Amino acid sequence: MKTDSFRGRDFITLLDWTKEEVETILDVALDLKRRYAMGEYHDHLLRAKTLFMIFYNQSLRTRNSFEAGMTQMGGHAHFLDPGKIYTPAMPGKEVAYSTERVSDVARVLARMGDAISIRCYGDPVDWTYGGANDIIRNFAYWADIPVLNMECDKYHPFQALADVLTVKEKFGGFKGVKFVMSWAYSPSVHKPRAVPQSAIIAASMMGCDTVLACPPEMALDPEVITACEKYAQMNGSSFQVTDDFMGAAEGAHVLYPKAWAATPIFQPPVGENNPQKTQEIFDSYKNWKATPEYMAQGDPNAIYMHCLPADRSWEVEDAVIDGPQSAAYDEAENRLHVQKAVMSLVMR
């Protein structure tokens, strides 16, 4: 396809991109991955370009894969700690000489570099569902350079790209692949919905038979569910939601169990701003764990996926994540390649 249309675009959610465009991104990612494996460097692609990275939350994979990717393509990734700049803030959330309005930060950085990437979810927006996505959208409104979502409270699109690239590598495609995104127990209730929401969007968009397994209190955004149903219809595939942890795994090719927040943690009107109730709900589902017995429900060639970091012994047993079915580290590696693909296409 003609890729000129990619130049200058924001990457905030896969919902803004077509299936054909996502297939092109995966093709470019595989090509860059192959070249990297052959020792072929591509530092001409983004030579002398700068990516500004603003992290309101912690990160291992995202920060290092963006930074390494920019280095490999001849550019530079600049890390910005919101607590060490004037914290970018939306109107109404400003504190004199401590914050700086997002519109000002976005326009200043856009005069100096070539893309702005942002991670923001949870505490920085007091668990107002969608508040972090609003910040990223506001950056995109004001900056006339691409804005990249490194995980907000709704979406983690680069993780989802890495997820479907891993599925493509393992199974050669998506048709007939049963992809199960499941909630799993963690003692930490402070995990956004971004990973599962983006994973089911990506899997259903690409044509997997997608299943979302979660307790009722961990239901995902109805808009995301509607989008997945639409993609399944377009692809002639299926999309199902269930609260049966073990049953969902039957015959699955991809098993992706991880924790995410229960609804009461969010501010009204989505939730009740009640972390204690959220903890009690979590603790009633301790048996939602990736064990060898769970993996045995799946297809003999089933893979275990996790975005990482994993909460070992709670979400998953060592025998699974360290075992022969684990694709978690392939998935982590693929973050590098999909991000290089998107950056090389939108930052040219």
Q: Which residues bind ligand CP (CB under 6 A)?
A: 59-62, 151, 159, 307-308
Q: Which is nearer to ligand CP, 9 or 119 (CB)?
A: 119
Q: Which is nearer to ligand CP, 60 or 246 (CB)?
A: 60
Side-chain half-sphere exposure of 141, counting CA atoms within 13 A: 11
CB 164 within 8 A of CB 203: yes
Q: Which is nearer to ligand CP, 32 or 307 (CB)?
A: 307
Residue 137, both tokens: 């959208």
Q: Which is nearer to ligand CP, 247 or 309 (CB)?
A: 309
CA distances, 77 to each of 50, 53, 54, 290, 343 (Å): 6, 7, 10, 36, 11
> In the bound complex, what is the minimum distance in angstroms from residue 160's beta carbon to ligand CP?
11
> In the bound complex, what is the minimum distance in angstroms from residue 197's beta carbon to ligand CP?
14
CB 253 within 8 A of CB 175: no
Residue 213, both tokens: 């397994």
CA angle 259, 263, 269 (to 5 degrees): 150
**Tally of CB atoms within 10 A around 233:** 12
> In the bound complex, what is the minimum distance in angstroms from residue 55's beta carbon to ligand CP?
9
Between CA 58 and CA 70 the distance in angstroms is: 19
CB 339 within 8 A of CB 72: no
Q: What single string gives the DSSP state of each residue in 170-204?
A: HHSSSTT-EEEEEE---S-----SHHHHHHHHHHH
Q: Which is nearer to ligand CP, 237 or 339 (CB)?
A: 339
Q: Which is nearer to ligand CP, 232 or 336 (CB)?
A: 336
Between CA 7 and CA 236 the distance in angstroms is: 31
Q: Which is nearer to ligand CP, 235 or 339 (CB)?
A: 339
> In the bound complex, what is the minimum distance in angstroms from residue 67's beta carbon to ligand CP?
11
Q: Which is nearer to ligand CP, 110 or 160 (CB)?
A: 160
CB 344 within 8 A of CB 73: yes
Task: Name residue 11's beta-bridge partners.
Answer: 148
> In the bound complex, what is the minimum distance in angstroms from residue 310's beta carbon to ligand CP?
10
> In the bound complex, what is the minimum distance in angstroms from residue 92's beta carbon to ligand CP?
28
**DSSP conformational letter for 281:** H
> In the bound complex, what is the minimum distance in angstroms from residue 144's beta carbon to ligand CP?
27
In a 3-state reduction of DSSP, which class is residue 310?
coil
> In the bound complex, what is the minimum distance in angstroms from residue 53's beta carbon to ligand CP?
11
Q: Which is nearer to ligand CP, 75 or 122 (CB)?
A: 122
Would you give the distance in Å from CA 37 to the centre of its chain?
Answer: 24
Q: Name the closest residue to ligand CP (Cβ).
A: 62
> In the bound complex, what is the minimum distance in angstroms from residue 85's beta carbon to ligand CP?
20
Between CA 339 and CA 348 the distance in angstroms is: 14
Residue 255, both tokens: 């098993």
Between CA 343 and CA 341 the distance in angstroms is: 6
